[in-house]
Amino acid sequence: MNCAKIKNKILHLIFSALIFFIFSCSNNKYKSDIIPGWYINPKNNDNNFLYGIGSGYSNIEAKNNALLDASHRLSSIIFGKTNIINKENNYDISQELYQDITSETLSLTFNNYQITNSIKIGEIIYNEISINKNEFYQNCIKIITDLDQEIRNLDLITKQSNSITRLNNLAKIKNNITEIKKLSNIVKYDYDKIYYSKLANEYLAIKENIEFYIYSDITDFKQLITKFLNQQNFKIARNRSKKNKRNQIEVTIKTSNIYNYIYNNHIINYKIAITLSNNNNKLSNNIINVTGSSPISKNLAKRAAIYEFEQKLKGDYILKLLNIM
């Protein structure tokens, strides 16, 4: 009796598994039947168009995923061409280079795409996009030439400027050069490497030679400004310079405060005015407000305010505060 029950149970399990297998196969067949062929077997890029496919729960998500697919395909094309060139010149191709190329293409904006196929199946939207290659490449070249012209204009108008202004504009120029190099990898544009290298070297030279002289009516604030400028590899001068006037930037920190004792709490508010000047010419002026409180003492409230000031200076904020970026 027990053997018969076991046998029946085994047969039942086998039958259930068989039904599940048949259902799974038919379900997969059903899915492959309703998902369009242009999505299952996407078009390859050709001489005229780049293609991409994507899906999502909204039109925007499906479109963005299709554009992402087009970006990945473009990076593969560029990497393939670069790989061939490098092999011809006996250069080693690296994963890092592939990641750089992928990063470059992912940051692109395809303005001339068209949605060539779209269908909604259940909750999912499937999209196919096409991008006219010639229009895309011409747009990249226009961006490069516009960026190059901006570089030359910035270079011309700030040649005789103070160090901070020149440094800021060279930083913008550096960003433009980075963008040009990225786009040039895609469209193989021959940019002025010697000129760009000269500007990049000038940026490094100015940053190396620039120095800050800091005056503050509260030593703690001066020490914090000094600390964060040192972290950015800037020099700090002990005295005002008589010779290095163009490269020395004076940072003047003046503070005022309001103290209150409210509900058994010491509260102090600092207004910190930070002025930058070069050769007696004011470059910028910024105000920072910080507050500290303590139930124990006024001194601890002051320490809390100084700590808040320190937190504000972290990261790139010191550069923005001093108008360096």
Instruction: Say if residue 94's pLDDT is above 60.
Output: no
Tell me the C-alpha to C-alpha distance, in Å, between residue 78 and each of 74, 105, 109, 144, 278: 6, 9, 17, 18, 47
Residues ≥6 apart with Cβ < 8 Å to 251: 212, 213, 214, 215, 225, 274, 275, 276, 322
CATH numeric code, 210-321: 3.30.160.150
Domain ranges of the chain: 37-132, 210-321
Helix (H) or strand (E) holding 117: strand 113-121
Instruction: Say if residue 98's pLDDT is above 60.
Output: no
The answer to whether the CB of 272 falls within 8 A of the CB of 310 is no
The span from the CA of 298 to the CA of 260, in Å, is 9
In this prediction, residue 267 carries a pLDDT of 94
Domains 37-132 and 210-321 share a fold: no
In this prediction, residue 105 carries a pLDDT of 47
In this prediction, residue 5 carries a pLDDT of 52
pLDDT tens for 296-314 read 999 999 999 999 999 988 8
Going by pLDDT thresholds of 50, 70 and 90, the confidence category of residue 108 is low
pLDDT tens for 70-83 read 887 877 666 554 44
Going by pLDDT thresholds of 50, 70 and 90, the confidence category of residue 95 is very low
Give me the chain's average pLDDT, please. Answer: 80
* Cα–Cα nearest to 175, from 207, 152, 200, 138: 200
Architecture of domain 37-132: Roll (3.10)
The span from the CA of 311 to the CA of 293, in Å, is 16
Instruction: Say if residue 211's pLDDT is above 70.
Output: yes
Maximum average pLDDT range among 22-36, 53-67, 228-242 = 53-67
The span from the CA of 211 to the CA of 248, in Å, is 5
Instruction: Say if residue 173's pLDDT is above 80.
Output: yes
